[in-house]
């Protein structure tokens, strides 16, 4: 349990705005980049010289975020000029919207260095469904990001072909909920019809999808990360008493951005870490649960098992929207 507790009270981050490398010429997509962790991450990447696409459903919120970032008074002066910021409209819980988003991006850019699948939803009202009728948490956290990733994969592969090994990455988002989730079984893709259970399953599912991409395209570094326990809008669907009780263990969203930043650009990670799990505030999980590692290993080594089945379920759900 010590590893779990350390995700609530992690050691100090090792990669922040104080020592982030210059990212000039590199292109990033951050889903959910208009608020919370995504906003903080977009700020870090932008002031390090990266071109950052803030991806989300609301053009207005995206433009507000861009204006806010550009007007920021920084505590730590950047080491060079800022990069660029742009908005990319995508609605992850509507599979029919995602192909257009990917096409708009690839029409504008000739490279993509890191895709941060940051956006997500937690504990929406029971019975909430996506546009296509899927359980909303699974649709938003897994199906939409998986389809978006697959549609952007040719550009990621093209970029990887001319970039340093391991520098082109896809970063998926899990949660400390993985530590408490039920062990995945043959019915893993079936909605639990319990908001917390469905959230837990979606976060385990993100690890499975990270491993699936590592299997599919080993030249791209695909990792999953728990950003940490944070003060963000992810808790907006909880009873008001839950955030109050958890407040002493919740951190500012920028710390979650440090976790994602480390997963996305740290040179500590290499292709040998493909399919790995990152924990706050940027370090490899020292002892992930054996019953979670087993299906990931089965997928990576034998392309079979529960994780492979979940990937196949996602493939089937999104097939007509490619």
Of 39, 53, 60, the residue nearest 84 (C-alpha):
53
Which residue, chain included where needed, has tokens 């609605």?
Answer: 91
Query: From the CB of residue 307, how many other CB atoms can be counted at a distance below 10 Å?
Result: 29
Would residue 199 show up in a list of annotated catalytic residues for this protein?
yes
How far, in Å, CA of 69 to CA of 50, rounded?
13
Would residue 73 show up in a list of annotated catalytic residues for this protein?
no
Q: What is the DSSP string of 114-164?
A: EEE------SPSTT-B-TTSSBHHHIIIIIHHHHHHHHHHHHHHHHHHTS-
* Element counts in the chain: helices (H) and strands (E): 11, 8
Selected catalytic residue, list 47, 53, 199, 258: 199
How far, in Å, CA of 6 to CA of 11, rounded?
8
Query: From the CB of residue 75, how many other CB atoms can be counted at a distance below 10 Å?
Result: 7
Cis omega (within 30 of 0) for bond into 281:
yes
Of 227, 221, 312, the residue nearest 275 (C-alpha):
221
How far, in Å, CA of 253 to CA of 241, rounded?
20
Selected catalytic residue, list 51, 201, 203, 215: 203
Where b means 16+ CB within 10 Å and e means fewer, 29-55 reads bbbbbbbbbbbbbbbbbbbbbbbbbbb
Enumerate the active-site residues.
199, 203
């Amino acid at each position: 349990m010590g590893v779990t507790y350390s995700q609530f009270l992690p050691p100090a981050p090792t990669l922040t705005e104080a020592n982030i490398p210059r990212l000039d010429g590199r292109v990033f997509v951050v889903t959910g980049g208009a608020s919370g962790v995504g906003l903080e991450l977009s700020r870090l990447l932008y002031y390090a010289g990266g071109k950052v696409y803030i991806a989300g459903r609301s053009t207005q919120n995206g433009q507000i975020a861009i204006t806010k970032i550009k007007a920021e008074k920084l505590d730590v002066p950047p080491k060079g000029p800022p990069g660029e910021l742009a908005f990319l409209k995508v609605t992850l819980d509507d599979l029919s919207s995602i192909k257009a988003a990917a096409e708009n991006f690839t029409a504008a850019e000739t490279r993509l260095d890191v895709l941060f699948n940051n956006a997500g939803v937690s504990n929406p009202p029971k019975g909430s469904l996506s546009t296509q009728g899927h359980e909303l948490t699974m649709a938003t956290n897994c199906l939409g990001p998986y389809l978006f990733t697959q549609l952007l994969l040719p550009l990621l592969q093209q970029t990887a072909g001319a970039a340093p090994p391991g520098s082109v990455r896809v970063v998926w988002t899990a949660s400390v909920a993985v530590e408490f989730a039920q062990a995945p079984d043959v019915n893993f893709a079936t909605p639990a019809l319990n908001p917390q259970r469905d959230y837990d399953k979606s976060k385990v599912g993100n690890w499975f999808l990270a491993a699936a991409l590592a299997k599919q395209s080993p030249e791209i570094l695909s990792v999953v990360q728990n950003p940490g326990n944070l003060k963000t809008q992810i808790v907006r669907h909880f009873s008001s008493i839950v955030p109050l009780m958890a407040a002493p263990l919740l951190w500012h969203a920028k710390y979650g951005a440090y976790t994602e930043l480390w997963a996305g650009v740290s040179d500590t990670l290499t292709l040998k870490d493909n399919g790995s799990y990152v924990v706050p505030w940027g370090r490899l999980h020292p002892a992930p649960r054996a019953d979670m590692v087993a299906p990931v290993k089965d997928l990576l080594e034998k392309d079979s098992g529960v994780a492979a089945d979940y990937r196949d379920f996602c493939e089937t759900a999104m097939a007509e929207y490619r």
